Amino acid sequence: MAADAVSALIAEGESENTVRSYQAALRYWAAWYWLRYAQPIELPMSVAAVQQFIVDHVQRRTSTSLESAMPDAVDQALVQCGVKSKLGPPALSTVQQRLSVLSKVHQLKSLASPMHDPKVRELLAKTRRAYAKRGVTPHKKAALTLEPLQAMLATCDDSLRGVRDRALLLFGWSSGGRRRSEVTAATMENTRKVGQRAYSFTLLHSKTNQTGAARPDSEKPVLDDAADALSAWLRRSGIVSGPIFRRIRRGEKVGEPLAAAAVRDIVRERAALAGLPDDFAAHSLRSGFVTEAARQNISLGETMAMTGHTSPATLVGYFRAAESQRSAAARLFSPSKTGQNSQQTAPDAGDVAGHGD
């Protein structure tokens, strides 16, 4: 049927990570609904059920503490059946993602989404405002800038795993802060050597280029130390075709291609070995590249050409943060400034009288 073909094409067009996150969210919805209402989930979902979901999963301030409406028995059952990792309310971003998935399902089934109801929209807006007033902000993974990256690389020894991890970290970081799915998409067919210490990685499919259209910035350079590390890995591994980054089996044997989640695991493992905080993950490669570019005064346009961002809005925050660190106004009370001021003659009252603030 045409409807089945449409559904299949939509599913095939989604990234693997998106599909997995949708599946996990829908499993959670089904489990929560069954435990809350003692019946299978039904679509379209009622506005009242969505409101109940929200108040079950977010915290509200009471006279003594922060509480949610989730019954303890339901919370424990969700953990026991494996759809929830631990007791207690999830992050607000997790709640919003699950609501977004519910809305998407209604859209795909041509059903009116309860997420568009004014009562739900108002509840969500007020919830976000309440969280902001408490100082709760979205958690972002630490940016892997040059110094922590160098610390991680120092943990990569001459073992096959160490050579691979060094190549992977430098490839993902120096080619523009590649996403984990983009790192594992690198193959011998789309990554070619173009000089003694230079490779070119052709990135046709990404989060911002879902159609795989050829663009002027599709070629991502891998140069100098990153190129050396990649060459060393290819020599040691003997890889001549297919995916570049692969698992290491017992006995220093090269195995199957890495899954995208393995990039996160490698970043976390190397951070731990380097004695770094545990808030680094795969996305730290991307945020770290952008942050370091801002610190080194690389232009916004040149940075976007490397990262593949289609809008400067995402990057502006990184660049403003870097500029604030160099701000002379922020150092008015630095030791050098106060030392200079102490040697100057203090103005008398007449010099400042009559001046406003």
Q: What is the pLDDT of residue 52?
A: 96
Which range has the worst mean pLDDT, 63-77, 205-219, 244-258, 304-318? 205-219
Evaluate if pTM is beyond 0.85. Answer: no
Where in the chain are the domains? 2-133, 146-324
Give backbone dihedrals phi and psi of 53, rounded to 5 degrees, phi first. -60, -45
Q: What is the pLDDT of residue 17?
A: 64
Residue 205 pLDDT greater than 70, yes or no: no
pLDDT band per the 50, 70, 90 thresholds, residue 247: very high
Q: What is the pLDDT of residue 139?
A: 63
pLDDT band per the 50, 70, 90 thresholds, residue 71: very high
Q: What is the pLDDT of residue 336?
A: 58
Pick the CATH number of 2-133 from 1.20.1440.230, 1.10.10.10, 1.20.1260.10, 1.10.150.130: 1.10.150.130
How far is residue 223 from each of residues 1, 30, 181, measured CA to CA in Å?
Answer: 50, 49, 21
Tokens of 138: 């979205």
Q: What is the pLDDT of residue 150?
A: 95
Q: What is the pLDDT of residue 6?
A: 43
Q: What is the distance between the alpha carbons of residues 78 and 87, in angstroms, rounded to a whole number?
A: 9
Tell me, yes or no, if the two domains 2-133 and 146-324 fold the same way. Answer: no
Q: What is the pLDDT of residue 350?
A: 47
- The tens digit of pLDDT for each residue in 327-351 reads 676 667 766 555 555 455 444 544 4
Q: What is the pLDDT of residue 313?
A: 77
Tokens of 17: 């990570």
- Are 222 and 174 in contact, with CB atoms under 8 Å apart? yes
Fold of 146-324: hpI Integrase; Chain A (1.10.443)
Residue 200 pLDDT greater than 90, yes or no: yes
Averaged pLDDT, 285-306: 89
β-strands 191-195, 198-202: how paired?
antiparallel
- Are 182 and 201 in contact, with CB atoms under 8 Å apart? no
Q: What is the distance between the alpha carbons of residues 316 and 319, in angstroms, rounded to a whole number?
A: 5
How far is residue 314 from each of residues 152, 207, 318, measured CA to CA in Å?
Answer: 26, 14, 8
Q: What is the distance between the alpha carbons of residues 30 and 58, in angstroms, rounded to a whole number?
A: 18
β-strands 246-249, 253-257: how paired?
antiparallel
Which range has the worst mean pLDDT, 16-25, 278-287, 329-338? 329-338
Q: Where does residue 258 fall: left (phi above 0), alpha (psi -120 to 50 degrees), or beta otherwise?
A: beta
Q: What is the pLDDT of residue 170?
A: 97
- The tens digit of pLDDT for each residue in 133-161 reads 888 766 667 888 999 999 999 999 999 99
- Are 202 and 219 in contact, with CB atoms under 8 Å apart? yes
Tokens of 98: 């699950």
Q: What is the pLDDT of residue 88?
A: 93
- The tens digit of pLDDT for each residue in 154-185 reads 999 999 999 999 999 999 999 999 999 999 99
Q: Where does residue 224 fall: left (phi above 0), alpha (psi -120 to 50 degrees), or beta otherwise?
A: left
pLDDT band per the 50, 70, 90 thresholds, residue 4: low
Q: What is the distance between the alpha carbons of residues 239 and 251, in angstroms, rounded to a whole number?
A: 17
- Are 184 and 263 in contact, with CB atoms under 8 Å apart? yes
Which range has the worst mean pLDDT, 30-34, 102-106, 218-222, 306-310? 306-310
DSSP state letters, 57-93? HS-EE-SSSEE-S--HHHHHHHHHTTS-SSSS---HH
- Are 17 and 49 in contact, with CB atoms under 8 Å apart? no
Place of tokens 């998106």: 18
Packing angle of the helix pair 47-57, 118-133 (nearest 10 deg): 10
Q: What is the pLDDT of residue 120?
A: 95
Place of tokens 């663009």: 215
The mean predicted confidence, pLDDT, of the chain is 84
